[in-house]
Amino acid sequence: MKKLFGLILMAMSIAAYADGAAPAPSQPSMGPMLIFFVVMILIIYFGFIRPQSKRQKEQQRIVAALEKGDEVVTVAGLYGKVVSASDTTTVDVEVAKGVVVKMQKQAISSLIPKGTLKNTTGGDVAAEAADTPKKAKTVAKKAK
């Protein structure tokens, strides 16, 4: 952000010096205004348009490379494992043991390294708790 303000101030100072150094013309000079607009267009392009197009290409690459077994994060923040990606527009993601969600491929925000799900949750605690009522009570007590 500081660089952006620096560039704007530099463009304005160039415009001020250009007006002060030139002899008094009968009409105002268009040079400083033209330089200012060119600098603003470059700032907008390199600051907003180009990074967005890079993110869009990366998202398309991720969606095209989805395959069974990939661990993903959805745009809703759900972590899961891809169960099937046979369709061109949808993918089945297992978010918990036995819970499979069908969603659009565009809803996948990023791939995460394989094995991350087990490391972050310490195993599938919810699935273990659902196996036996005694474990479910123990997990519920720990949560309080």
Report the domain count for the chain: 2
Alpha-carbon span 2 to 53, nearest angstrom? 23
Q: Do 107 and 124 sit in the same domain of this protein?
A: yes
pLDDT of residue 128: 46
Rounded alpha-carbon distances, angstroms, from residue 99 to 5, 56, 69, 80, 94: 51, 30, 15, 10, 6
Could you list the residue range(s) of the whole structural domain that residue 16 is in?
A: 2-64
* 101 within 8 A of 82, measured Cβ to Cβ: no
Helices (H), 1-144: 2-21, 31-44, 50-64, 116-121, 125-131, 133-143
78: closest CA among 64, 66, 65, 96? 96
pLDDT of residue 125: 41
Q: Among the three residues 17, 35, 64, which one is the final residue of a domain in this structure? A: 64
Average pLDDT for 27-40: 88
Band of the pLDDT at 129, cuts 50, 70, 90? very low
Please determine, for residue 132, whether its predicted confidence score (pLDDT) is greater than 70. Answer: no
Kindly report, residue by residue over 61-112, the tens digit of the pLDDT.
988 888 899 999 999 999 999 999 877 889 999 999 889 999 999 999 989 9
Q: Among the three residues 16, 49, 64, which one is the final residue of a domain in this structure? A: 64
